[in-house]
Amino acid sequence: TTVARMVTTIRSFSKLLLREGYCSHNPASHIKIPSTKKILPKILSIAEVNLLLDFKDLITPLDFRNKAMLELMYASGVRVSELISLNVGDIDLEDGFLRCIGKGSKERIVPIGENSILSVKKYLKHGRLKLKPAFREYALFLNFRGKRLTRQGFWKILRERAKQVGLEKKVTPHVLRHSLQ
């Protein structure tokens, strides 16, 4: 927290003053760093996840894309930045895994479930090509202009989907990511 950082800074500065001979004792030695409570991430119940992922009718290319993205995020727990950075070649639907670049530019191999594999296959067959990918656009998930979807675009899709199925809870990508089974 901010308070803990400030206390640590004051204590370090006081040690420096003592070491450099500007004072005879450490004036901050008695200050305790406040303990920070670990807050558990909010998650969706299984019923709420089922509502979110249960697309009754997949009609438009965007329906196929949205279903595939939500299934993939739920099944794998990838971050939004990792999800939208995926290229078509980063996902192996036969062996059931995806390759993504995570925090610190580290490559991760992430297993994906059968439902997400099926959803991505349907999206690739019935959705992606109809979104008319721009020349040399390798992004897995495209916007309606045929370009790579943005983080803000994904947030909007998730928010609209939650509203569409009547979820009262604030649903964010982080909440969906932590709801993985």
pLDDT digit string, tens, across residues 139-170: 999 999 999 999 999 999 999 999 999 998 89
Q: Is 122 helix (H, G, I), strand (E, B) or coil?
A: helix
pLDDT (0 to 100) of residue 181 = 57
pLDDT (0 to 100) of residue 36 = 72
Which domains are present in the chain? 1-39 (no CATH), 46-178 (1.10.443.10)
pLDDT (0 to 100) of residue 140 = 97
pTM of the model: 0.77
pLDDT digit string, tens, across residues 64-80: 999 999 999 999 999 99
pLDDT (0 to 100) of residue 30 = 86
Residues with pLDDT less than 70, the chain: 1, 181
Where helices occur in 54-150 by DSSP H, the ranges are 61-76, 80-84, 114-123
